[in-house]
Structure 1
Amino acid sequence: MKKVSIIGVPEHFNLPWHMAIEEGAFAERGIDLTWTDIPEGTGRMCQMLQDEETDLSIILTEGVVKSITEGNPSKIVQEFIATPLQWGIHVGAKSAFKTIDGLLGTKAAISRFGSGSHLMAYVNAQKEGWDINDLKFEIINNLDGAIEALTTGTADYFMWEHFTTKPIVDNGTFRRLGDCPSPWPCFVIAATDTFIEKNPSTLKHILEIINLYTSEFKNIPSIDNTLANRYGQQLTDIQEWLSSTMWSQKQIAKQDIAKVSTTLKELKRIDKIIPFASIVT
């Protein structure tokens, strides 16, 4: 068996991977694919790719493009989610903030620098017409850290996937002031250059299997109930999320990478734009 490690966030987007692993689809091809949840998100996963602590990652597009541009020896091997991510903009339920404009000049909770919550704070600031140089951040590592920061007031707002945080809004811990969708396909599959170079056939098999699962995922009987039960979500929320989410079975488009890179450069998150062929394989 060929041992392969893969990482991703513990969210509903990644259920096809867990199903394929649990049903032995990779093992049938001689691949021992081991999944590890990374609740700290994209910033941590970029570091793990760079340090070769993992072979593959399901990762936010903007985060991995920034990391690769800055020298991370990894590549995007395929688009995974073709639709934007709905980033909910959250505040503590007892805070005085009522509108997104009221967050101007306040402190954003972020999982770490280079994470999606960090980069999307800049995207949101640009959308709102704020001066990006005025942004302030508090590192909170994960969702539990965000709950503590927004409850105690060490940070003022937190951007995280709308449906993942919905139960925390429903139970009165957070209030959501609005959403900021990512302006590009949100998740990609990335691999280290070492893994790509040394294991082309294994990578091909892995992509074939996951693409089969994602292409049929929405047609699985009662998949909405399975997702709701597994991820502690309301059924109506999962149904809304499923209807607006599309999995991909192809490489990300050149124009999407160009949009990510151009936006990151405009927001001063990267110093240069590198060629498409240096980001994808």
Structure 2
Amino acid sequence: MIEINIGGVPEHFNLAWYLTLKNGEYKNEGINLRWKDYPGGTGEMCKALKNKEIDLAVVLTEGIIKDIIEGNAVKIIQTFVQSPLIWGIHVANDSPYKKIEDLKGTKAAISRYGSGSHLMAYINAQNNHWDLKKDLKFKVINNLEGAIEGLSKGAADYFLWEKFTTKPIVDEGVFRCMGHCPTPWPCFVIAAREDFIKSNKKNIQTILNIINKSTAVFKDIPDIDQTIAKRYGQKIEDVQEWLSLTDWSQNVIDEQTISNTQKQLFDLKIISKIVHYEDLIYKL
């Protein structure tokens, strides 16, 4: 049995992986798929891929594109979630800031440079016509727990993170959500190290077949809203809203989407150049 390591954020988007692992579906095909949680998000996973700690990762589209262009020998092999990620713009509950415009020039908490929370701060700034050089400042806080501490103690002023993941923290009165910033592209993709792809195409295809079969019917699983609510400590109505807004994919990300995404990242000076589709994507 071959051992394959995969990483992802410990969030509701990845419940299908947990269910297929729990059911032993990969082991039935001779694959010991070992899942590793990365609370620090895409930046942390990019580093793990580079260091060969994991073979595959479920990562944010914008983060992995940036990392590949910067030299990480990785390829996107499939879109995982087709719908946008809805980022909540959060401040501490007792923060003096009342509207998004008040945050201009203040300090954004980010999990790490190159992470989604970092890159989406640029998208938010652009949406609000801020000066990207003058009006953006950052404080690295590693993960969601770090953001709670950082915002509460005033080390940073605001924090972008997935709306539904942070909703229980908002409900508790720790964060206040001031608005939303959806990604202008499909949010999650599956990426793999190039050296791993070369010697494991059949195993990768088997893994994709299993997870795609699961995500294709995910919303139809009996009482899935209750399962998610219980596992992730969320209100049932929030889970139902999230399910209505989320669409998984079983396909490779298309060339036009890659082109549009790169153009926006380049215009924001997040990436230094625009590369060919084939430099980012591997079709099995």
Residue number in structure 2 paired with 1:132: 132
Residue number in structure 1 paired with 2:45: 45
Match of 1:199, SS state, is: helix
Residue number in structure 2 paired with 1:27: 27
Residue number in structure 1 paired with 2:103: 103
What amino acid does structure 2 have at the position aligned with 1:112?
Answer: R
Match of 2:53, SS state, is: coil
- The alignment status of 1:256 with 2:257, answered yes or no, reads yes
Q: What displacement does 1:159 show?
A: 0.1
Residue number in structure 1 paired with 2:69: 69
Q: What displacement does 1:26 show?
A: 0.5
- Deviations 1:116-140, CA, capped at 9 Å, x for gaps: 0000000110111001112100000
Gaps of 5+ in 2: none
- Rounded to whole Å, the distance in 2 between the matches of 1:255 and 1:17 is 28
- Rounded to whole Å, the distance in 1 between the matches of 2:260 and 2:150 is 32
- Deviations 1:41-88, CA, capped at 9 Å, x for gaps: 111111111111100000000000000011110000000000000000
What amino acid does structure 2 have at the position aligned with 1:60?
Answer: L
- Deviations 1:151-190, CA, capped at 9 Å, x for gaps: 0111000000000000000000000000000000000000
Residue number in structure 2 paired with 1:7: 7
Output aligned runs, 1:165-244, within 5 Å: 165-244=166-245
| Percent identity of equivalent pairs | 55
- TM-score normalised per structure 2: 0.98
- Rounded to whole Å, the distance in 1 between the matches of 2:157 and 2:236 is 30
Q: What displacement does 1:206 show?
A: 0.4
Q: What displacement does 1:271 show?
A: 1.1
Match of 2:87, SS state, is: strand
Match of 1:164, SS state, is: helix
What amino acid does structure 1 have at the position aligned with 2:40?
Answer: E
Q: What displacement does 1:269 show?
A: 1.3
The answer to which of 42-51 and 158-167 deviates more is 42-51
Q: What displacement does 1:204 show?
A: 0.7
Match of 1:238, SS state, is: helix
Residue number in structure 2 paired with 1:163: 164
Q: Which 4+ stretches in 1 moved above 3 angstroms?
A: none
Match of 2:139, SS state, is: strand
CA RMSD of aligned residues (A): 0.6
Q: What displacement does 1:16 show?
A: 0.3
Match of 1:248, SS state, is: coil
Match of 2:164, SS state, is: coil
Q: What displacement does 1:270 show?
A: 1.4
